[in-house]
Amino acid sequence: MFAEMKNTRTSELHLWADEATGLQAVIAINSTTRGAALGGCRLFSYKSTDDAIHDAIRLARGMSYKAALAGVEQGGGKAVIMAPREIHDREALFKAFGRFVHSLGGRYIAAMDVGTQTSDMDTIASITPHVACTSKGGDPAPYTALGVFNSIKTTLQASSALPDDISGARIAVQGLGNVGFALCELLSNAGAELVVSDIDSAKVTRCEQVFGARSVPPSAILSVECDVFSPCGMGGIIQADTVKDLSCRAVVGSANNQLATPEAGLALHRQGILYAPDYLVNAGGLIHASLSHRGKTPAEINERIHGVAETLSQIFKRHKTSGEPVSLIADRMAEHILYGPAPLQRSA
Ligand code: NAD
């Protein structure tokens, strides 16, 4: 475990069990050098404790990169709660989790993530001030969707193989949850042609009815011929050996950790598919959580979210000049902000 912490530069790993509520939770703090570690609290059914710990470590590291590239003065952290088979008392569970967060003295600030909701953050707030995304600050999903929408516009302008404007562009959206639905609304209002998919058929029907979207089964969304494929479901869906099945010219979506491995980013590059790095594109939620926690107004938050597309535009310019894969350029930019310039490689 210490080797994994060293490889990922994780500074702290905390476990907490509460017998009364059945809470079993992990908090990984990747870094606090740029501020308190802010990151979502995920409630998920993990196969094992090891899986939960690995997920927390990996996601916390992603949060450090995200905050660095988004220019947010926060470190990276993440919490995972191993979902019990049945939750008898959700409020008691999140109060126990609140005590865990409070024990870290503000080095970690909890926020919403997959499986948790605003009301859970309110429960945590009854125990500790170190929580964002409460009903006072609101749901971060519309802010995340705005960052993704602006990034799709920037991506279209960056490539001559794509239409200049969203109106007339065909966008395939995978996952129609909080972010996916809000993104479809922005895209539909801007005149995009939408192809959608979700494993929840009620969400698909809603998008067909509200936006006149065309739908395809979940297994078919990756191969839909489109300008932009927008993954807004779960992570790990772009794999090096399945990139050849994609029929899009660009990938821009909200899902965390879309690339199953770093090789998947290189495979996209080899296939000429422009990739907008997920942890930059989906930073709207983090910007919202961080700034609303500091009492900033929605107008100030929206203005900062526009910075996401500006950073993406810089990355695309570097990509055009150097010919290097976008995923590598983004990682290097974040690492430069977090750790300073990389040491020069010495020849033997
Ligand atoms: P959500 O749980 O509301 O929605 C996810 C949707 O994806 C659900 O409707 C689910 O049925 C669907 N889905 C899951 N697997 C699928 C599959 N194989 N094919 C099609 N649909 C599938 O989550 P959300 O808040 O909308 O977040 C979406 C993604 O964006 C997640 O990966 C999340 O980590 C990431 N993200 C969200 C935010 C935010 O502000 N909510 C911020 C940053 C990143």
348 — pLDDT class (breaks 50, 70, 90):
very low
Cα(339) to centroid(ligand 1), Å: 31
Cα(2) to centroid(ligand 1), Å: 31
* Angle (CA) 150 66 258, round 5°: 75
Cα(347) to centroid(ligand 1), Å: 45
85 — pLDDT class (breaks 50, 70, 90):
confident
Q: What is the position in ligand 1's atom list of the atom closest to the CA of 174?
A: 20
Q: Whose CA is nearest to atom 3 of ligand 1?
A: 177
The mean pLDDT of the chain is 94
CB of residue 66 inside a 6 A radius of ligand 1 = no
Cα(114) to centroid(ligand 1), Å: 7
**Which tens digits make up the pLDDT trace of 29-72?**
999 999 999 999 999 999 999 999 999 999 999 999 999 999 99
Whether residue 64 contacts residue 76, with contact meaning beta carbons closer than 8 Å, is answered with yes
The pLDDT of residue 106 is above 80:
yes
CB of residue 144 inside a 6 A radius of ligand 1 = yes
**Which tens digits make up the pLDDT trace of 267-303?**
999 999 999 999 999 999 999 999 998 889 888 999 9
Question: Which pLDDT does position 344 carry in this prediction?
Answer: 56
- The one-character DSSP state at 238 is B
**What is the pLDDT averaged over residues 155-181?**
95
**What is the pLDDT averaged over residues 64-83?**
95
- The one-character DSSP state at 225 is -
Token pair for residue 248?
């899009």
CB of residue 62 inside a 6 A radius of ligand 1 = no
The span from the CA of 48 to the CA of 230, in Å, is 30
**Percent above pLDDT 70 for the chain:** 98
CB of residue 140 inside a 6 A radius of ligand 1 = yes
**What is the pLDDT averaged over residues 79-105?**
96
Q: What is the position in ligand 1's atom list of the atom closest to the CA of 285?
A: 40
Question: Which pLDDT does position 114 carry in this prediction?
Answer: 86
Question: Which pLDDT does position 270 carry in this prediction?
Answer: 94
CB of residue 235 inside a 6 A radius of ligand 1 = yes
Cα(144) to centroid(ligand 1), Å: 11
The pLDDT of residue 78 is above 80:
yes
Q: What is the position in ligand 1's atom list of the atom closest to the CA of 180?
A: 26
Mind telling me the catalytic residues?
A: 78
CB of residue 114 inside a 6 A radius of ligand 1 = yes
The pLDDT of residue 251 is above 50:
yes
Picking from 70-79, 130-139, 328-337, which range would have the lowest pLDDT averaged per residue?
130-139
Q: Is the dihedral of CA 99, 25, 66, 33 positive or negative?
A: positive
- Angstrom CA distances, 65 to 128, 290, 292, 327, stand at 26, 15, 20, 12
Question: Which pLDDT does position 345 carry in this prediction?
Answer: 55
Identify the H or E element spanning 250. strand 250-251
The span from the CA of 195 to the CA of 173, in Å, is 6
181 — pLDDT class (breaks 50, 70, 90):
very high
Q: Which domains does the chain have, with CATH numbers?
A: 2-64+74-125 (3.40.50.10860), 141-335 (3.40.50.720)
The pLDDT of residue 346 is above 80:
no
Helix or strand or coil: residue 1?
coil
Question: Which pLDDT does position 343 carry in this prediction?
Answer: 61
- Angstrom CA distances, 18 to 98, 118, 256, stand at 11, 22, 29
168 — pLDDT class (breaks 50, 70, 90):
confident
- Name the residue of 232, 237, 251 whose CB sits within 8 Å of the most ligand 1 atoms, as the mutation to test its pocket: 232
How far, rounded to the nearest angstrom, does the alpha carbon of residue 108 sit from its chain's CA centroid? 18
CB of residue 176 inside a 6 A radius of ligand 1 = yes
